Structure 1
């Protein structure tokens, strides 16, 4: 027995030695062509499931590599895949072998769908999937595509898209909602033509700004991108790219606290779920609560966003993304001022909400993605997105009039009292998008081709059960109500002072405490209204795109046929289908003058049908109306500097749009919402954007825009808004933000950043409104201080340091939207 124990003990002791003779570890470093370390490079032992990824210093470690001739595959987004064959032998001087490699940058070999997360970790982003629906270097896309990366989002302490649009040229807030002006044209979150998630149409809120809790970067695709996405806003669209799983394990938790009782908590976990790294995951969690600087405008939000990538082999990849977002708050209808005074006459903190008002929103996005290489040159890509939005709303808001104001004559009303209304609404929207396309790469002589052929389908529905009740206006002697004040036409119920009584109490700007108090809505006379009948819009799009490359010249040709249907009185006995079609071309040219300089030009057309709410109620709005058509002419230059660490884009453009809807002029009595189609609008401008690193520890982001956007043709060419600068569009705007980290000496790991953004004056809602206002220009100074202790980073952001009173946009004296005063936020981030 003792002999047997001795024998097996000897074998056990010798086993590590015997095993080591057959395997050995492999370590090394991966850099780019300039010697800079590359993060997240995939290192795979060919013919096996063994793999690793490089860390932020470019190092990798593969364990238990069999001895003998072996081949290793190094791959990363934006770089040529490198196959390296070596003889794996025992190392007499150590327990592992060394293999350092350098990867060459090449756009053509990028992953065709964004399945695995972005590897870059600076303010610069090299490639885009949404600009051409192929993985293309941004410098090779004949169109302006701006972006804000997660590194900027973190450094600026931003939590919503509204917080970061100041970093992008030509983009400004129209209001504090999910509502923007891009190159002079409005795009709102509740319309699929202005908001994308991962290049897909998404149903989002208008009232609340989009969260950044699970966002990798925000892209702004400039111009009418209808050739790829169908109906689209002429100025551009905003694409939110969600965080995707990474090949390396990475966990981050952060807690933020600051002004106005703000508390934000975020978690980001990612990495492989199995040893072969064929199954990856990412989980983003976010919770935010704040009282806000505006009276009664606190909110709570919750984000839960898991994502999974399955890569069974080199040819096939699957992706599943889920995002659940919940908001509890109120609708902020903006600041209202005295009708005979200026913007400063009422504190920017004052709102007209009642204590018992509420807004409860739920958004859910579920996307399924597949990319499969049929051959080395032919691949198929398919994505399905189910996007839903539910709203439960109770609010008191301005009825767009001062008390006893007659029509548009603001001087007839009481300038200190606001006519109010109450609104109860519940509704749910569902958007299903389906996107399929083939990519085929081939050569004909010296010409390289990337051919894309695709089919899109989307369907937007307002589901059955939607309901809306509105109480407002003046009480009449016959027991009914009216929204119009006209003593010659109506007989009103009068109060003890002989003044007309209102259905909902007016808001007295001199007595805001009463106006903000809890309201007993049971005493109101409600009337049904709004868009409560189920609605449906559908669109089929067939498109083809060819990217040709001949030496230094790249040519992009695109053509899309769009079939749009709007169902009026959907599922009712009087249902009617309005069909609209468009043929949408796109032509772009890129000339690579040097390794660092590309010149480009582009021409494209756009198409945007009128929304269902307007089309479905011709008695109220007029119409039905023709679609909006647009056209873009753009030329510019894209450059790289400091060993391609810093990129810059400069462009000049002209956008022409036809058939926009504006308030009817002259106004029609009794029809305040009647619209007319303006003949033509035009936007001309210049933009400059740069982003990246001046040095490895010095980041910079800057932009400037000059935009001249106005109505150039109307029915009479003498309406009030003819020739005026378009609403919420500053003629000049700019931003600069820079961050520097000290890497040596006593202050090692201490960093600081500073930024300045400005806009010139902007018009409110132009048109026939008598109370249109002009919002003054402003400049804001922001700063941040960092300190990193091992895996913990401390960060303090100070925004609007000079406490500048300003307005980000608005409509008129009844609805203006101020920006936040001075505020501070402190963040603790732990990475493990």
Structure 2
């Protein structure tokens, strides 16, 4: 069941799909077979990348220009979901994009889909766009649902690392790479129809405005009209994005991108426990069931080469956001009867962010070592207002639903009215030495200064004298009928230094081993408390064979998050406790095994533990974090023979183990499940393809867990015709 935005939304983590796991392990087997002399592969550095459209195996990392190196040489566990993978799997959301990525768990709130929900290594992930943080210092929950059609690729960096990217949780971060103009004419147009009255169309095209490619443009747009799985639901969306790139010389590129995103959807009230109701059953109110998101953004990206090894890169973004939702959620299932209590719940958030980052990089040779020094500065100004409303309403009989109508939100009592502003200034430096083509040493240091101001209003609460335990007590009103308000103001200055050390050893030009230590930090929700900090140790190996385009990786990690903020249930006050520890193993393989055959395989083992000596949670696992995750996606293309075009067949399996649904590790565990996906496409002409995608092929149904039943998404079929040029 959903809980108010201000509450801790984490819920928690078991048996492994043997076939999928073993496939991932077999895919990594070549790591142990190297012995011969090989030729060095030239690094492929991407910027959003033309190459992404033709392969599922990325070899470079962009992350807003802050990393920009060969993945084999990078000391850390990284996954890149390319444009080809997004298209082959028919991805329509961030959660779907991340479903075949090691270390990442998604869809742990099932049909409650107000936001993108995903965790990395057991913790909420911080999200970025072109290396700039999306939103404030919060994590993925409560951020707008992104439209993946706006992005070239999705990059996932695992583990703690505030040094280059700013405040973040220790599990890791997700970076969206914006589509920008190219130096050639290109384009695509597509139309999709599918389950739940799904209708969708999109275009993405661009060209040079001048013969010498000095000025180029790009336009990306998408519109969707659809329902969702439950009755009385919808899933509509719009995207409009335009970009210009100016290249006055070979040394300088300036890109400007403006985009508008709007979605109009709905969410789920959930279903009662111990029932066998269809997924489509809706126990909310049709007239009070909405999720709206709207964002307007302007981004600027600048790169300039001064010569002599000195370069400048910088980017900035301003965005205005608005999101709201209104829904019903259910009370606990009664022991007898078929009538269940319900409550109105809604939220409204408005925010803005200005985020700018600038970097100078100097490269030079020092004898047998190549030195790369990056000095950067960042400024972030963000603020938002958020209101939450809640009140009990009429019960409903789940065997014969009788809807009673919506509610005028102006009459809803609010439980929270918050205003928050953050201003962050940061400087950072990273030094990298490439020594004798064997050793790569990277050292990073960052200091953040963040000023936070917060005001929270809550209504005065009156107990029902006839029933002091009644959860639906009234709020006090003054003589004029208005609510009596309590106002609390707070401010805090967050100042933290974080560091990162990485060492990569090139065993051969194809095989590398690495070790890293990295730190992270994020302000506590209560500003008078110390920041929450993280530390991670990681070792790993990567194999990039010359014989085929592939990247195999294995990583062992041990991370801790300290100064955890918790709320005392008896006083409502927040306090700091001990630490949470997460340890595990990640295996991942992305490979073009042979002509026409591509494989993406992943396995993750995560062991989490609450090391909190001051509460009854000590020794518990984190909620919503399974011990085992495994996945396998295969794509096989049967080349055309002149009388017919290429045919491509895709099949995938995703295993999620059991996990606890609450921090107390009570109330049982979620169900383990294997879900299959499939795809097939046919090249009608060299420029036109027809594809069919099926998500959850066998319509597997299980409860993702919570205080009500929230099923995983059911089978969804879509057909797409796409023309490219």
TM-score, normalised to structure 2, is 0.84
Give the structure 1 partner of residue 428 of structure 2: 543
Q: Of the candidates 361, 380, 384, which is equivalent to residue 462 of structure 1?
A: 384
Matches within 5 A, 1:35-74: none
Counterparts of 2:648 and 2:562, CA distance in 1: 50
Matches within 5 A, 1:16-31: none
Is the CA contact 2:605–2:629 (under 8 Å) kept in the aligned structure 1? yes
Matches within 5 A, 1:414-493: 416-423=339-346, 425-462=347-384, 468=387, 470-473=389-392
Give the structure 1 partner of residue 412 of structure 2: 526
SS at match of 2:416: coil
Give the structure 2 partner of residue 586 of structure 1: 500
Change (3 A) 1:119 1:785: closer
Q: Deviation of residue 275 (structure 1)?
A: 0.7
Deviates more, 1:544-553 or 1:697-706: 697-706
Give the structure 2 partner of residue 373 of structure 1: 305
Counterparts of 1:661 and 1:180, CA distance in 2: 20
Cα deviations across residues 75-107 of structure 1 (Å, max 9, x unaligned)? xxxxxxxxxxxxxxxxxxxxxxxxxxxx99544
Q: Deviation of residue 238 (structure 1)?
A: 0.9
Q: Of the candidates 120, 125, 133, which is equivalent to residue 182 of structure 1?
A: 120
Which has the higher Rg, Structure 1 or Structure 2?
Answer: 1
Give the structure 2 partner of residue 710 of structure 1: 609
- Structure 1 residue 202 corresponds to structure 2 residue 134: yes
Counterparts of 2:48 and 2:584, CA distance in 1: 36
Q: Deviation of residue 599 (structure 1)?
A: 0.6
Change (3 A) 1:180 1:165: same
Cα deviations across residues 727-761 of structure 1 (Å, max 9, x unaligned)? 22111111111111111546651221111111111
Counterparts of 1:631 and 1:388, CA distance in 2: 33
Matches within 5 A, 1:136-155: 136-155=69-88
- Structure 1 residue 627 corresponds to structure 2 residue 627: no
Is the CA contact 1:293–1:349 (under 8 Å) kept in the aligned structure 2? yes
Cα deviations across residues 464-486 of structure 1 (Å, max 9, x unaligned)? xx6x463514xxxxxxxxxxxxx
Give the structure 1 partner of residue 60 of structure 2: 127
Give the structure 2 partner of residue 603 of structure 1: 517
SS at match of 2:86: helix
- Structure 1 residue 823 corresponds to structure 2 residue 716: yes
Q: Deviation of residue 662 (structure 1)?
A: 3.9
Q: Of the candidates 679, 682, 689, which is equivalent to residue 793 of structure 1?
A: 689
Q: Of the candidates 591, 599, 612, which is equivalent to residue 692 of structure 1?
A: 591
Is the CA contact 2:510–2:546 (under 8 Å) kept in the aligned structure 1? no
Change (3 A) 1:180 1:541: same
SS at match of 1:153: helix
Q: Deviation of residue 661 (structure 1)?
A: 3.0
Is the CA contact 1:257–1:264 (under 8 Å) kept in the aligned structure 2? yes
Q: 5+ unaligned residues in a row in structure 1: which ranges? A: 1-102, 188-193, 404-409, 474-503, 616-623
Counterparts of 1:227 and 1:263, CA distance in 2: 43
Deviates more, 1:228-237 or 1:167-176: 167-176
Q: Deviation of residue 648 (structure 1)?
A: 1.2
SS at match of 1:817: coil
Give the structure 2 partner of residue 776 of structure 1: 671
Give the structure 2 partner of residue 751 of structure 1: 648
Cα deviations across residues 279-329 of structure 1 (Å, max 9, x unaligned)? 122211111222111232312100011122111111111011222100112
Change (3 A) 1:355 1:208: farther
Q: Of the candidates 147, 165, 170, which is equivalent to residue 229 of structure 1?
A: 165
Is the CA contact 2:45–2:62 (under 8 Å) kept in the aligned structure 1? no
Q: Deviation of residue 379 (structure 1)?
A: 1.1
SS at match of 1:737: strand
Q: Deviation of residue 767 (structure 1)?
A: 3.0
Q: Deviation of residue 205 (structure 1)?
A: 7.7
Cα deviations across residues 231-286 of structure 1 (Å, max 9, x unaligned)? 11110111111222222211111111111111121111023221101212221111
Q: Deviation of residue 347 (structure 1)?
A: 3.3
Counterparts of 1:416 and 1:708, CA distance in 2: 40
Give the structure 1 partner of residue 5 of structure 2: none
Counterparts of 1:593 and 1:751, CA distance in 2: 37
Matches within 5 A, 1:651-666: 651-664=555-568
Q: Deviation of residue 765 (structure 1)?
A: 2.5
SS at match of 1:560: strand
Counterparts of 2:215 and 2:648, CA distance in 1: 37
SS at match of 1:569: strand
Q: Deviation of residue 696 (structure 1)?
A: 3.8
Counterparts of 1:246 and 1:230, CA distance in 2: 30
SS at match of 1:725: coil
Q: Of the candidates 179, 194, 210, which is equivalent to residue 274 of structure 1?
A: 210
- Structure 1 residue 158 corresponds to structure 2 residue 81: no
Change (3 A) 1:675 1:767: farther
Q: Deviation of residue 375 (structure 1)?
A: 2.2
Is the CA contact 2:284–2:329 (under 8 Å) kept in the aligned structure 1? no
- Measured on the aligned residues, the alpha-carbon RMSD in Å equals 2.7
Is the CA contact 1:607–1:630 (under 8 Å) kept in the aligned structure 2? yes
Is the CA contact 1:220–1:237 (under 8 Å) kept in the aligned structure 2? yes
Give the structure 2 partner of residue 648 of structure 1: 552
Is the CA contact 1:155–1:784 (under 8 Å) kept in the aligned structure 2? yes
Is the CA contact 1:740–1:753 (under 8 Å) kept in the aligned structure 2? yes
SS at match of 1:152: helix
Q: How many residues are matched?
A: 646
Is the CA contact 2:675–2:697 (under 8 Å) kept in the aligned structure 1? yes
Counterparts of 1:674 and 1:255, CA distance in 2: 53
SS at match of 1:213: helix
Give the structure 2 partner of residue 577 of structure 1: 491
Change (3 A) 1:130 1:115: closer
Counterparts of 1:575 and 1:126, CA distance in 2: 49
Counterparts of 1:642 and 1:550, CA distance in 2: 22
Counterparts of 1:300 and 1:455, CA distance in 2: 39
Q: Deviation of residue 207 (structure 1)?
A: 6.9
Give the structure 2 partner of residue 509 of structure 1: 398
Give the structure 1 partner of residue 479 of structure 2: none
Counterparts of 1:741 and 1:115, CA distance in 2: 25
Q: Deviation of residue 351 (structure 1)?
A: 4.0
Counterparts of 1:377 and 1:764, CA distance in 2: 53
Q: Deviation of residue 422 (structure 1)?
A: 4.2
Change (3 A) 1:134 1:798: closer
Q: 5+ unaligned residues in a row in structure 2: which ranges? A: 1-38, 458-485
Change (3 A) 1:574 1:776: closer
Counterparts of 2:40 and 2:303, CA distance in 1: 24
Q: Of the candidates 747, 754, 764, which is equivalent to residue 661 of structure 2?
A: 764
